[in-house]
A and B are shown apart, each in its own frame.
Chain A
Amino acid sequence: MEKTASMPTDTTLPPPRPSRLSRLRESDLWYSFRAHPSAIFAVALLALVAVTAFLAPLIAPQNPYDLAALVLWNSEIPPIWDAAGQWPFVLGTDTQGRDVLSAVLYGSRISLIIGFSSVMLALVVGLTLGLIAGYFGGWIDNVIMRIGDVLLSMPFILIAILITAIASASLPTGLKDVLAAPILIFAIAVPSWVQYARTVRASAMVEAKKEYVQAARLIRVKSWRIMLHHILPNCLTPIMVAATLNFGLAILSEATLSFLGVGMPPDQPSLGTLIRIGNQYLFSGLWWIVVFPSVQLCLIVLSVNMIGDWLRDALNPKLR
């Protein structure tokens, strides 16, 4: 769903210029950042979520993945402000006696890690393949881009579901738990590298025709190194915006897959898994099991999207 939403900037690239500009742009960015309270709010929110998520093992009252730590006697305790609330279960407990706050913190950590890693994987693969395709051209270009065409002709979510479903059907139980997160990262990255590859390829094709590259080729210098230095800064802007927005999308995809039951297993719950489990108790008065993970998920994605939107507007010269 993302490809039409985040691509309008790549045809309006400013001409390549050395690093002085990037410093200038930095300061531009900083200025724009300070002028946008929503951006400040989003960055602060995301930072708060990220820090608490990564410090979860230190600050969470409980390790929700340690089966031996779950005590069924503590199940279904409401949040602390309810009359029946109990310390230290600030946001209450689920039906297994799992502390909801701890589960949300650990779950956010999984969601953030999977989102971030899949974007990184897609970036690395996309940039590499895009450069190769743009620089070498010919049949290599053809093969890479045709693979991209095929991937883009299947809906994003469908590819991800198929990969996770097939992996979980063909792996033994022991491995499934260990590999659940890597499989998700892979499944989300597979359909999303194409976008980066296309952007980089376009710049690389332009660059490859330039004289210095031709000259370098003549004297058999490894020109790709030089190219790398020239091409990457060129497409940094659209790629940065796309990557930020895709980060939000990746977190949403992970949550969706887990909600559908093909993502993280119930003993290492991500936010999506928690919502799936909590959904069963929606009408039985145990609202806190489903509400807190949902709120956290929405906050994360909202802050990421706000940052992405702001970045796009701030970096797009047309809108300035």
Chain B
Amino acid sequence: MIAFLLKRTANAVFVMLAVALLAFVIFRFFGDPVEMMVNEQATLQDRIELRERLGLNDGFVTQYTRFVTNAVQGDFGISYRNQQDVMVLIKERFPATFELVLVATVISLVVGIPAGVITAVYRDSRLANILQLGSIVGVSLPSFVVGILLILAFSVSLGWLPAFGRGETVDIGWWSTGLLTPSGRAALILPAISLSTFQVTLVMRLVRAEMLETLRADYIKFARARGVPARRVQWRHALRNCLMPVITLTGMQIGNLIAFALVTETVFQWPGMGMLFIQAVTFVDLPVMAAYLLIVSFIFVALNTLVDITYAWVDPRLRDDTARGDG
């Protein structure tokens, strides 16, 4: 087990170093940092001095090492646009994105699991067919179109829910939460629904596939034969068996949801990391872009590694690396 743990961790570290290399290349070679920092009146001499001071004349490896060392300590430099410490900016924005992703995940489970069970158990019923159709429409609708439609319906026409922002937030230490105020909760509803559309269908499809598989399994058949009521078998025994893959999927998808939140955040002007990133992209604010890439990838890799390790802990067969395959 310890060997496996070390191996997975080493792998994750390697991947992060590679992502850091990419972020470093973006930061260093696309757009001259000096040109973006100095103001228009700076002389050639100023530029040369600044170049020296920033260490841009050092060797590639030295600069990369410095970049990684700084990144590990949370130092990503100063944003060109906001002229603020990048890490401070991201730290300020992280709670907004995290709460959005959290609520979207909860919605996807609360809606996706029952829908998946229903479509599996009552395979050819009308309800199941409607849900199936809904799921395919769900994966086909671009999330920004969903967002626009929701704003049009619930903000503009009905005037029920806010169209932008987080509403009132409450600070708990450095964490700002919108969950504790009525306006904060209201502001969260539409963006969370729009972000969760894709995830709901994903959960639903997975639950359906797993349920179909499980319902064919012998022990379920035995249980039925022993006279356990059908509903109880389906909802308790079979569903419990499907939950592990669902939890895995949810864990691995959180990284993706954080990244995809940038679309939702743009539509709803949600002041999270994604909006920060998109604004950095339009303004070619390279330190913010590099930091965002690294942080989101880190969350992604960390969650995947965690899921892998948990799996191996639960099921020792998976510790053998070759058995994991490459699927």
Chain B residues, Cβ within 8 Å of A260: 262-263, 266, 278, 281
Chain B residues, Cβ within 8 Å of A306: 136
Complexed CA–CA distance, A248 and B252 (Å):
22
Chain B residues, Cβ within 8 Å of A202: 325-327
A1 pairs with B304, CB closer than 8 A: no
A298 pairs with B202, CB closer than 8 A: no
A4 pairs with B281, CB closer than 8 A: no
B255 pairs with A5, CB closer than 8 A: no
A155 pairs with B255, CB closer than 8 A: yes
Binding site for A on B (CB under 8 A): 11, 14-16, 18-19, 22, 26, 30-31, 136-137, 139-145, 148, 151-152, 156, 198, 202, 205-206, 209, 212, 249, 252-253, 255-256, 258-260, 262-263, 266, 278, 281-282, 284, 289, 292-293, 296-297, 300-301, 304, 325-327
Known: A5-B202, A259-B263, A260-B278. A290 touches B327 (CB 8 A): no
Known: A162-B293, A169-B31, A283-B156. A298 touches B141 (CB 8 A): yes
Complexed CA–CA distance, A30 and B37 (Å):
63
Partner of A158, one of B144, B266, B296, B301: B296
B325 pairs with A11, CB closer than 8 A: yes
Most A Cβ at <10 Å: residue of B11, B156, B293, B327: B327
Chain A residues, Cβ within 8 Å of B141: 298, 301
Chain B residues, Cβ within 8 Å of A4: 202, 206, 249, 252-253
Q: Shortest CB–CB separation between residue B144 and chain A, in angstroms? A: 5
Chain A residues, Cβ within 8 Å of B16: 153
List 10 A-B residue pairs with CB atoms under 8 Å apart, sorted by A's residue number: A1-B260, A146-B18, A154-B300, A158-B292, A256-B143, A275-B144, A275-B148, A279-B148, A294-B145, A294-B148
Partner of A261, one of B14, B156, B255, B282: B282
B293 pairs with A154, CB closer than 8 A: yes
Chain B residues, Cβ within 8 Å of A256: 142-144, 263
Complexed CA–CA distance, A16 and B256 (Å):
36
Complexed CA–CA distance, A154 and B295 (Å):
10
Chain A residues, Cβ within 8 Å of B293: 154, 158, 162
Known: A149-B15, A150-B19. A201 touches B326 (CB 8 A): yes
A259 pairs with B144, CB closer than 8 A: yes
A155 pairs with B259, CB closer than 8 A: yes
The residue on A at minimum CB distance from B31 is A169
A154 pairs with B296, CB closer than 8 A: yes
How many A-B residue pairs lie within 8 Å, measured between CB atoms? Answer: 132
B256 pairs with A301, CB closer than 8 A: no
- What 10 A-B pairs have minimum CB-CB distances, sorted nearest first? A155-B259, A302-B140, A301-B140, A150-B18, A165-B281, A153-B301, A153-B15, A198-B326, A154-B297, A169-B284
B300 pairs with A153, CB closer than 8 A: yes
The residue on B at minimum CB distance from A276 is B144
Q: Which of A140-160 contact B (CB under 8 A)?
A: 145-146, 149-150, 153-158
Q: Shortest CB–CB separation between residue A272 and chain B, in angstroms? A: 8
Chain B residues, Cβ within 8 Å of A259: 142, 144, 263
A302 pairs with B296, CB closer than 8 A: no
A150 pairs with B15, CB closer than 8 A: yes
The residue on A at minimum CB distance from B17 is A150
Complexed CA–CA distance, A157 and B264 (Å):
13
Most A Cβ at <10 Å: residue of B14, B258, B296, B326: B326
A165 pairs with B289, CB closer than 8 A: yes
Chain B residues, Cβ within 8 Å of A170: 30-31
Any B CB within 8 A of the CB of A76: no
Chain A residues, Cβ within 8 Å of B206: 4
B256 pairs with A156, CB closer than 8 A: yes
Chain B residues, Cβ within 8 Å of A1: 198, 202, 253, 256, 260
Chain A residues, Cβ within 8 Å of B282: 261
Q: Which of A67-112 contact B (CB under 8 A)?
A: none
Any B CB within 8 A of the CB of A226: no
Complexed CA–CA distance, A306 and B31 (Å):
43
A157 pairs with B262, CB closer than 8 A: yes
Q: Shortest CB–CB separation between residue A100 and chain B, in angstroms? A: 16
Q: Shortest CB–CB separation between residue A133 and chain B, in angstroms? A: 10
Any B CB within 8 A of the CB of A51: no
Chain B residues, Cβ within 8 Å of A8: 209
Chain B residues, Cβ within 8 Å of A275: 144-145, 148
The residue on B at minimum CB distance from A148 is B326
Any B CB within 8 A of the CB of A166: yes
The residue on B at minimum CB distance from A257 is B263
Complexed CA–CA distance, A300 and B52 (Å):
54
Partner of B136, one of A10, A11, A146, A309: A309
Any B CB within 8 A of the CB of A262: yes
Q: Shortest CB–CB separation between residue A37 and chain B, in angstroms? A: 12
The residue on B at minimum CB distance from A318 is B213
Complexed CA–CA distance, A158 and B290 (Å):
11
Chain A residues, Cβ within 8 Å of B14: 146
The residue on B at minimum CB distance from A238 is B327
Chain B residues, Cβ within 8 Å of A272: 142
Any B CB within 8 A of the CB of A7: yes
The residue on A at minimum CB distance from B148 is A279
Partner of B258, one of A145, A155, A279, A305: A155
A7 pairs with B296, CB closer than 8 A: no
Q: Which of A2-31 contact B (CB under 8 A)?
A: 4-5, 7-8, 10-11
Chain B residues, Cβ within 8 Å of A165: 281, 284, 289
Chain A residues, Cβ within 8 Å of B140: 248, 252, 298, 301-302, 304-305
Chain A residues, Cβ within 8 Å of B292: 158
Q: Shortest CB–CB separation between residue A275 and chain B, in angstroms? A: 7
Any B CB within 8 A of the CB of A161: yes
Q: Which of A105-135 contact B (CB under 8 A)?
A: none
Partner of A7, one of B15, B145, B327: B327
Complexed CA–CA distance, A309 and B209 (Å):
13
A282 pairs with B266, CB closer than 8 A: no
